[in-house]
Each structure stands twice: as structure tokens, then as C-alpha cells.
Amino acid sequence: MEEVDHLAHERSTAQFDVEAMKVVWAGSKHALSVSDRMARLVASDPEFRKDNRVTMGRKELFKNTLRKAGHAWKRINELRLTEEEASKLRFFIDQPAYTDLHWGMFVPAIRGQGTDEQHEKWLPLAYKMQIIGCYAQTELGHGSNVQGLETTATYDRNSDEFIIHSPTLTSSKWWPGGLGKVSTHAIVYARLIVDNEEHGIHGFIVQLRSLEDHSPLPGITIGDIGMKFGNAAYNTMDNGVLQFDHVRIPRDQMLMRVLQVTREGKVVQSDVPRQLIYGTMVFVRQTIVIDASNALSRAVTIAVRYSAVRRQFGSKNGGPESQVIDYKTQQSRLFPLLASAYAFRFVGEWLKWLYQDVTQRLQANDFSTLAEAHACTAGLKSVTTSVAADGIEECRKLCGGHGYLCNSGLPELFASYVPACTYEGDNVVLLLQVARFLVKTVSQLGSGKKPVGVTAYMGHVEHLMQCKCGVQKAEDWLKPEVILEVFEARATRLAVVCARQIGSAANPEDGFAELSADLLEMAIAHCQLIVVSKFIEKLQQDIPGEGVKRQLQVLCNIYCLHLLHQHLGDFLSTSCITPEQGLLANEQLRSLYSQVRPNAVALVDAFNYTDHYLGSTLGRYDGNVYPALYQEAWKEPLNDSVVPDGYYEYVRPLIKQQFRFSRL
């Protein structure tokens, strides 16, 4: 294929230092360097080829995963990669695999919930992958409600063992990644029963398969749960089903950092605070927010580049048609997603800090910020993953018909990303947790209890209930203090209205249930405010690189004003702004789109994605889209033969009239 940069003109119009923006996006020069090296390493290694995945049958696809995971482990060791590098390597391989759960859930669960002795015994084996583990929590009949899990772990004092058992069909473990075909071990969550008494849900290390021949151990029924959304996507992963028929494990394989069962069958709470588990959730959800920015930025890269390449309508005097990216309809759908990708990046970065802060406090037995931090990360997990999933699909539509081809990269990206809305806490369930926390916060305002962390703004409830937005002309909407105040006022007023309505219900729990749809909107308002405020805070820092801060300011304003437009009903119904101010915001938004336009391609270049990682004919760095689409078509297996298999049996008889005809 010719080597011409079809997007060179787009790149020449950028008004900022793209290399400096790459550092901002990556988080630091070091992070950029690691990420860049690992991306190139993967892209240049033919073992990590992925363009052929979508035509593979399930077995071939799964074997492909095993091969890649093995090769990755080989390279990680050969090159003596650090943990950070290894993690980035797996990220760029871009194929869900059992190793994600081994490193992302199994190892952290032992670290977080295991005792020192358990760490010593199990972690070295896991670090060397001498055992491969997964995380077996959800069951066929139980997802969100962990307390409803049915699997039992009954202590048998005679043998000093736990008996792990699946008492019902619905208690079958269901969904855990890596479980179906690969894991040798699992952390199994089960109801602890000692002397016929229940002691809640706890984790147990259970060996599933022989380390010699991989056959399931006695009493264990195990398999893959079948095909999932998308061609390749998560079908590279062996999500599994698992049933226990009175499987015995030694007592010391219960994870006992928080709760212990002694040899005598006494159940003892340790002095380690139970709240530690929330710290882990803050950690996991923080990584999910960063993932949302990764996935969304990837889709936006494809859509922005192809929108700059693609031309449609608007030809004047036989000249070329207009670039699609010049249409306001395209801009008004695409640029807010570009802005959201950056916004989620920065709030994700801030969540890293929050996790460190919470961890340090927990170590000092300070639980004062934990509930708030937990609500904050739960809410941000929810809003960022929902926007990212919808945003990927929107980007696909923004690419027109060709976005429907797998080689656009977008269908697979959507199918493999969208579970993020459900796993690690269903997004609606999480928002209700946030809502519960906010209602409680509001109800305590009168008592003098000061709201902490990102709910601190509610301390100014009196001001926020009555403040009036001072915007008089479109440019007034560019002032961060104006934006912050209206977003704070909106969140506060929605929360106060909801809290009042719940308060006036005969029973607060019934009131909460009845109003829960409105409570979701209140929780979203709060979460959006967090993203807005962290974006604004980011811009108050020193950001090196010519024009970089200026571009981020434009994106921040787009992010905020787009939200304002999208949720105009909230802002107007709570009288945070007037209809005229809403129109001015819209006017300003249009002007901001024009400011982003010449920088759009450079702003996605700053994500620094390789063509291998994007895996998209439409999102190619050089914009040479049409020859790429054309060449890809001929790789389709159906094109191996001119006359398709089945023609002689099923088509020719029609054409040749080998049926007796009737009425038609």
C-alpha cells in the first residue's frame, strides 16, 4: 500500500505540542515511555497478530488465547519485564484471557484477604504461575447480591476441613473468567457454616484441576458457559460453570485475614478492620475508570480519523465533497466524547490518589473518609463505564455503514467493553448505593456533621439552594467558577428534593424504593460534578507544552456545557439557570466545537495508539482507509472460492426450477 499520510494536513493545523499532550495523557514521561515500548513490542511481534480472530471458530479462538498468553509469559520472562511493563504488555495484546483474572483478581484476593502464612504459601506459586487462579463469586442465580450466594462451606471438625458444596442448580458458580477451561485454583466465595450456624460469605482457596493432567478433581463439575456477545471479544475467555459435590479442603485454605475459624471450630474476628474490603473495591473500580478512558479514547480515535477522511455531500461545482468532521451534527456527537475521554482520564488519575489516601488512613485506623470514597468510586465506575459503552457504539454509528464491519475495530471493541457496565457492580445498583449515601449526607447536614471529600460542597447547602447563575453572555460560560457553582447547585437541589420526598414518606425505605428512578438521576448529577471538578482542578495545575493547557481548557468546557445541555431539564427544573442562559451555553458550545475542529486529529494522536492496538481499517494513522477496506475484504474465507459451498445443493435447484410451482 502506498505510504502517504492522508491526514498530514489535519496534523499540520494542530495548535499544540502533541508530544507534550502524550505525556499528559499517559500521566508521566515514564508512563508514556513504558506504554510506548510495550505497544511497539506487541505490534512488532507476529505472534500477537489479531486481525484474524473474527473468523475463527470458538475452539480455534480459545487455543489462540492460550498460545498468546503463553507467549506473553515467555516474553515477560525473557525480557525481564517489571510488573508495570508486564501489565502494559497484556493490555496491548488486547485479548481477554485467563491471565487477566489470575493477576487482576486471584492474586489481589489472596494479598488482601489472606493471612501472612497464606501469603507465604500461595503467592510465590501464583507469581510464578505454577498455579493459575480465578475468582469464583457469582452464581447462576446470584450476581449483584453477594449476600444471597448459596454455595456452602461447612466446617467438619473431625477432619479439620471445610466441605464446599453446591446445594442447588442456581448455586452453580457461573461467569468467572478463566474458570471454564484453564484455572487450576479458584477463590470460591461461600456461606461459612460452623456447627449449623451461618457466618456470612467468605473466600476459600480451592484446587479445581490436577496439576499433572488438568483433569477436574473429584466432586468438581466444570465447564465453559458458552458463546457471548461479539465475534471474538470475550469469546477468547473461558467464563465458566462450576459445581461442588461435597468437596473437602483443608481448614487453612479459608482466607482468614479478617475472620478465622480455629481448629476447635471457633469463629473469631481478627483485629484487621473489615473495612479493608472496601479499600480493595476502591482499587478495582479505580482501574475500571481508567479503562473507560482507554476504551472510549480508542473508539474516538477511530471515529475522528475516519470522519476527517470520509467525505459526503456538499460538493460545490464538482469539487470534492465535504469532510464529514466539518458537519456540526458530527461534531456535536463526536467532540463531547473526545472531551469525555480526557475527563475520565483525569478523574481516573485522581482516583489513584484517592486510593492511596484511603489506604494510608485505613492503616492508621481512620475510617472517616471510607464511606465517601467508596460511594465516589462506585459512582464514577458507573457513570464512566456507561458513557464509554454508549460512546463506543455512538462512534461506530458515526462511522456510517463501514463501522458495522468487524475490521473497523468498533463492533469488537463494543462487545468486549460493554460488560464493564455489569461486572464489578451493576451500574444501576452502584448508583443506588451512591444515592443512599447522598440522602444520608443531606439528612445529616442539619446535625452539624460536615460532609467530607467530594461531598464537601454540600456543606454550602444554604448558598447552593438559592444562588443565582450570573451568566449574561455566552463567554461567561467559560468561567470555571460559574460552571462549578451551577453543577454544585444542581446536585445539591436534586439531593435535597429527593431527601425531602423520602422524608415525607410513611416509611423511609418504601420512599427510597418508590423514588429510586429519580434517585438515579440525583446520583448521576453528583458523579458528573466530581468529573467536572477534577477536570477543572487539573487545569489549575502547571501543564507543560505549547498550547496543551489551552486545548484541555476547550475540552473541559465542552465536557461541562455538553452535560449541561444533555441534562437541561435538571438545571431548569431546579432553577439553577434560566432558559436564556441555556441558550447561551448552547451558543458557546458551538463555538467551542469550531475551536476543537483543527486540533481534533492531533488530540487523538496524543493517545499514542498503534495501528495494531486500534485494529481498525477506518482508524489507521495514515488515513488510507479505502484500499485497506478493499484488501481486507479479500481475506474473508467465503472468498476462498468463487462459487460458494452450498450453491449446487441449495441455489442451483431453485434457478433451474427443480420444484413444482404453485400459486406464487
Catalytic residue numbers read 424
Q: How far apart are CA 414 and CA 178, in angstroms?
A: 21
Helix pair 370-398, 276-309: axis angle to 10 deg = 20
Continuous H helices in 541-624: 548-566, 568-573, 579-596, 600-605, 611-614
Residue number, 98 or 607, with CB nearest to a second copy: 98
Q: Which of 459, 432, 407, 599 is nearest to 514 (CA)?
A: 432
Residue 370 Cβ vs a second copy, minimum distance, rounded to whole Å: 22
Nearer to a second copy, 219 or 453 (CB): 219
Least distance CB 217 / a second copy (angstroms): 12
Question: The sheet that has 173-174: what strands, in order across it?
Answer: 173-174, 240-244, 220-224
| 21 vs 76 by CB, closer to a second copy | 76
Buried b (16+ CB within 10 A) or exposed e, 461-470: beebeeeebe
Q: 63 or 157, CB closer to a second copy?
A: 63
CA angle (417 as vertex; 25, 389 as ends), nearest 5: 80
Residue 261 parent element (H or E)? strand 259-261
- What is the nearest approach in angstroms of a second copy to the Cβ of residue 551? 21
Q: Which is nearer to a second copy, 426 or 476 (CB)?
A: 426
Q: What are phi and psi of 446, to 5 degrees?
A: -65, -30
CB of 407 to a second copy, least distance (A): 6
What is d(CA 104, CA 112) in angstroms, rounded to the nearest whole number?
12
Contacts of 615 (CB under 8 A, 6+ apart): 50, 51, 94, 407, 409, 412
Give the three cell numbers for residue 251.
Answer: 481448614
Give burial (CB, 10 Å; 0-12/13-18/19+) of 110: buried
**Shorter beta-carbon distance to a second copy: residue 101 or 362:** 101
Cβ of residue 586: shortest distance to a second copy, in angstroms?
A: 7
C-alpha cell at 62: 480459545
Smallest gap from Cβ 197 to a second copy, in A, equals: 14
Paired sense of beta strands 197-207 and 152-156, if any? unpaired
Strand pairing class (152-156; 185-194)? parallel
As measured in angstroms, the least distance from the Cβ of 453 to a second copy is: 25
Q: Smaller CB distance to a second copy: residue 506 or 642?
A: 642
Please state the length of the chain: 664
CB 409 within 8 A of CB 612: no
CA 488/CA 495 separation, integer angstroms: 11
